[in-house]
Amino acid sequence: MPANPAKPRMHSAEDDLAFMRSIVEGGGKPHLTLGVAYLAGGLLYGLQCLFHVGQATGVIRWPDLANLAFVVGISLGFFVVLAWAIRRDSRDGVAATRGPMATRALNAAFSATGMANLAVILIFGFGAYRDQDFAIWLYYPAVIFALQAAAWYVAFSLKRKPWMLACSAGGWLTAVALGLLVRRPEWYLGVCTVALFALFALPGWIMVREARAARTAA
């Protein structure tokens, strides 16, 4: 008489919960683009702010053309790194519209913040040019940090990671500080420099490290 076939394994409540969690949290390769953008932006634009601190204190006295070349080089370097990250994610089959639900929501939050950033640039840029008052333009970074604080709070609500909440609080404090220091260029640049390294480069490094570790484990 043939042996009885193995009895099918019954799914437990823990199995069902694990399955539902896999749908929400997902698997596969995490995105590199967001982390690389924050890391490169924080390092490069933090370096630019240090450069302007040197100008404000008289340490750096370059010709106008050299100053312009440096500033343009910073932005070009950022876009080159960003293009590399986007291409890397595309090559690895990772897109912002795919992946875990929480990750897609997080990407949407930061993408929406980027759209708002563009509107803020146009508003403050036009206002500064119209009124011939550079201080108006200096309110733009303050608003950017406020928007970043909101985005990081959304990220914390989704991921529940304490460092994301710290980024949100730090962005809020930086926004207020910059708004109060627009007529104090040395202090303004100092706060902006520290904030770029602490609230952009450091979180970017954390995100890149976590993404690389997750990809290695996968």
Query: Of 60-64, 87-91, 130-134, 155-159, which range is least confident?
Result: 87-91
pLDDT per residue as tens digits for the range 148-199? 999 899 889 888 899 999 999 999 999 999 999 999 988 999 999 999 999 9
pLDDT of residue 20: 43
- pLDDT band per the 50, 70, 90 thresholds, residue 112: confident
The yes-or-no verdict on residue 24 having pLDDT over 50 is no
Residue 191: Cβ-neighbour burial (10 angstroms; 0-12, 13-18, 19+): buried
The whole-angstrom separation of Cα 53 and Cα 196 is: 14
Q: Quick one: which of 174, 53, 169, 33 has its CA closest to 107?
A: 33
The whole-angstrom separation of Cα 192 and Cα 180 is: 12
pLDDT of residue 100: 56
Higher pLDDT, 125 or 192: 192
Task: Tell me the mean pLDDT in the region 30-35.
Answer: 79
CB atoms within 10 A of CB 146: 18
Collapse the DSSP code of 132 into the 3-class scheme (helix H, G, I; strand E, B; otherwise coil) and give the result: coil
Token pair listed for 161: 């990671």
Share of the chain above pLDDT 70, in %: 79
The yes-or-no verdict on residue 133 having pLDDT over 60 is yes
Residue 190: Cβ-neighbour burial (10 angstroms; 0-12, 13-18, 19+): middle
Contact 204, 39 (CB under 8 A): yes
pLDDT of residue 214: 77
- pLDDT band per the 50, 70, 90 thresholds, residue 25: very low
pLDDT per residue as tens digits for the range 37-83? 999 999 999 999 999 999 988 899 999 999 999 999 999 999 999 89
